[in-house]
A and B are shown apart, each in its own frame.
Chain A
């Protein structure tokens, strides 16, 4: 299968601010995680992949088509599912009504078939029993699943999920991972997240963005390996800029070792924090 998303030197400028600074990236089958701090350009890239934002420069192809062309863009949208970072919903709608509304926009014109499909996706995300409940009466996690359900309508070839696990509790995230990992069979899922645990649990590939540029592109294991030989545990905080006290009272250090420190096995989060460097320090300070 060809890569569903192909970016070649893609830029995006908002006035004088460059959100994407020449990104070259191919995304194929399976789940690809997009990591990056706030303002790294993740959402800009996700919105481009969802055809709602056009690049300022460079070449973008989605599902083998050029989204600048109107007919091609419509065809891409027929095969695309998109869950935005802040999925707005009509709160007075029931979950069924909301997904049905989106299905109507997705050209499901035959009423019976559309209703069957709406029910299928709501059941797939575990909301079959609350389909009749109004959105305003659903918990935050349930609303996220409603948003995921609408993205699944028509079993799209390309799924663009922008921070889908934000605000979910561990149980809800586990449920979400189950659904997404099933979805990823034979299709492309681009998943933007702040949660390195999600990337470790779900993704076959991880791309890190920083200030609009790709700073890492590899497997989750390779990202963790970046930190090998740089992650330490010690009895006190000393030296390293990236350091925190863990639950058992020891201090975990990333970077130069303090006195008496012992090397430990790196995690994906360690690799990501090392990659972020000064940005991570600022985020931790904040």
Chain B
């Protein structure tokens, strides 16, 4: 069979002016017809061809967004911010699944062991965002941290961005778990202010020690304080009463004040 495409079709196709249906016909014909391929080769503008190859190259090389990035972008988060957030270890599905499992165990314990079980849930729930913040950003999780510090985006901005995302994600999971706790009313939400207090206190302390160490110190202090309050008050929930809530609120304010006052330390200390 020696049916060939009309020269006018080839010319218009090469210029990108042929309608879609005829373009499909040309594209179906060309792979099987050497004379037509030879005929069109001289008609294609070299610049256009080069731009097309560039676009194909770019489409192949460009990063493919993962599930977290796609979710964030669907939620309206701008593309560059979504990229920076998607690289947060504590926003990975595996991490969030682990958090959900811990909370589920806490909820089961609260149901099974009464006040002591509830104390365990309230003790653990604020530690989860703290753990998330500890691994959100820094030289221990980002091998390119030294370069990142020298970039204009700023260590503090990225750290705060990731902290907010981690806290929102973890708090949402904790809220769902708390909602399943039977008959404990407001006490079931007593982890909320401690969560905020611990996270901000850790950020404040991070201005001196680095995020991971600060989170470890704050977590240890929190566990000791809850257990000590239990011993002193003879009630496992003593630490979650009004005095404990006020102390956590003060810790949150002190942490925020420290971050604001010493924000410069994040930007010139690469181990922040």
**B158 proximity list for chain A (CB < 8 A):** 105
- The CA of A91 and the CA of B148, in the complex, are separated in Å by 16
Residue of A nearest to B145 (CB): A88
Interface size classification for chain A: 35 or more
Is A74 an interface position by the 8 A CB rule?
Answer: yes
B75-91, CB < 8 A from A: 78-80, 83-84, 87
Is B28 an interface position by the 8 A CB rule?
Answer: no
Is A106 an interface position by the 8 A CB rule?
Answer: yes
24 contacts between A and B (CB under 8 A): A50-B150, A52-B150, A53-B268, A53-B269, A77-B150, A87-B144, A87-B146, A90-B143, A91-B143, A101-B83, A101-B144, A104-B83, A104-B84, A105-B148, A105-B158, A106-B152, A107-B151, A109-B78, A109-B80, A111-B79, A111-B80, A115-B61, A116-B58, A150-B147
Is B154 an interface position by the 8 A CB rule?
Answer: yes
Residue of B nearest to A48 (CB): B268
Is A233 an interface position by the 8 A CB rule?
Answer: no
Q: Are A94 and B61 in contact (CB under 8 A)?
A: yes
Given contacts A87-B144, A89-B143, A105-B148, contact A54 B268 (CB under 8 A): yes
Q: How far is the CB of B183 from chain A (nearest CB, A)?
A: 47
- The CA of A190 and the CA of B42, in the complex, are separated in Å by 49
Add 4 more A-B contacts to A52-B268, A97-B63, A100-B63 (CB < 8 A).
Answer: A100-B83, A101-B87, A106-B151, A106-B152
Residue of B nearest to A73 (CB): B267
Q: How far is the CB of B91 from chain A (nearest CB, A)?
A: 15
Q: Give the residue of A51, A83, A109 whose beta carbon is less than 8 angstroms from that of B268.
A: A51
Is B249 an interface position by the 8 A CB rule?
Answer: no
Q: Give the residue of B57, B80, B148, B264 whose beta carbon is less than 8 angstroms from that of A70.
A: B264
Q: How far is the CB of A10 from chain B (nearest CB, A)?
A: 14
**A111 proximity list for chain B (CB < 8 A):** 79-80
Q: Are A88 and B61 in contact (CB under 8 A)?
A: no
Q: Are B153 and A70 in contact (CB under 8 A)?
A: no
Q: How far is the CB of A62 from chain B (nearest CB, A)?
A: 11
Residues of B that sit less than 8 Å from A by CB: 54, 57-58, 60-63, 78-80, 83-84, 87, 142-154, 158, 263-264, 267-270
Given contacts A96-B61, A100-B63, A132-B61, contact A88 B146 (CB under 8 A): yes
- The CA of A94 and the CA of B60, in the complex, are separated in Å by 11
A152-202, CB < 8 A from B: none
- The CA of A213 and the CA of B21, in the complex, are separated in Å by 74
Q: Are B153 and A52 in contact (CB under 8 A)?
A: no
Q: How far is the CB of A3 from chain B (nearest CB, A)?
A: 20
> Which 4 A-B residue pairs are closest in the complex by CB-CB distance?
A88-B143, A105-B151, A77-B152, A82-B150
**A98 proximity list for chain B (CB < 8 A):** 144
Q: How far is the CB of B82 from chain A (nearest CB, A)?
A: 10
- The CA of A96 and the CA of B63, in the complex, are separated in Å by 7
Is A240 an interface position by the 8 A CB rule?
Answer: no
Q: Are A84 and B147 in contact (CB under 8 A)?
A: yes
Interface hub of A73, A78, A80 (most chain B Cβ within 10 A): A73
Q: Are A131 and B61 in contact (CB under 8 A)?
A: yes
Is A102 an interface position by the 8 A CB rule?
Answer: yes
Is A144 an interface position by the 8 A CB rule?
Answer: no
Is A119 an interface position by the 8 A CB rule?
Answer: yes
Q: How far is the CB of B51 from chain A (nearest CB, A)?
A: 12
Q: Are A104 and B63 in contact (CB under 8 A)?
A: no
- The CA of A204 and the CA of B86, in the complex, are separated in Å by 44
Q: Give the residue of A68, A102, A109 whose beta carbon is less than 8 angstroms from that of B148.
A: A102
Q: Give the residue of B62, B145, B263 whose beta carbon is less than 8 angstroms from that of A96.
A: B62
- The CA of A77 and the CA of B78, in the complex, are separated in Å by 22
- The CA of A74 and the CA of B157, in the complex, are separated in Å by 12
Interface hub of B54, B57, B142, B144 (most chain A Cβ within 10 A): B144
- The CA of A94 and the CA of B62, in the complex, are separated in Å by 9
Q: Are A90 and B144 in contact (CB under 8 A)?
A: yes
Residue of B nearest to A69 (CB): B264
Interface hub of B58, B61, B146, B148 (most chain A Cβ within 10 A): B61
Residue of A nearest to B265 (CB): A54
**A115 proximity list for chain B (CB < 8 A):** 58, 61-62
Given contacts A54-B268, A97-B63, contact A106 B153 (CB under 8 A): yes
Q: How far is the CB of B101 from chain A (nearest CB, A)?
A: 25
Given contacts A51-B268, A52-B270, A111-B79, contact A119 B61 (CB under 8 A): yes
Given contacts A105-B158, A107-B152, contact A89 B61 (CB under 8 A): no
Q: Are A51 and B150 in contact (CB under 8 A)?
A: yes
- The CA of A100 and the CA of B267, in the complex, are separated in Å by 21
**B151 proximity list for chain A (CB < 8 A):** 77, 102, 105-107
**A100 proximity list for chain B (CB < 8 A):** 62-63, 83
**A84 proximity list for chain B (CB < 8 A):** 146-147
Q: How far is the CB of A167 from chain B (nearest CB, A)?
A: 17
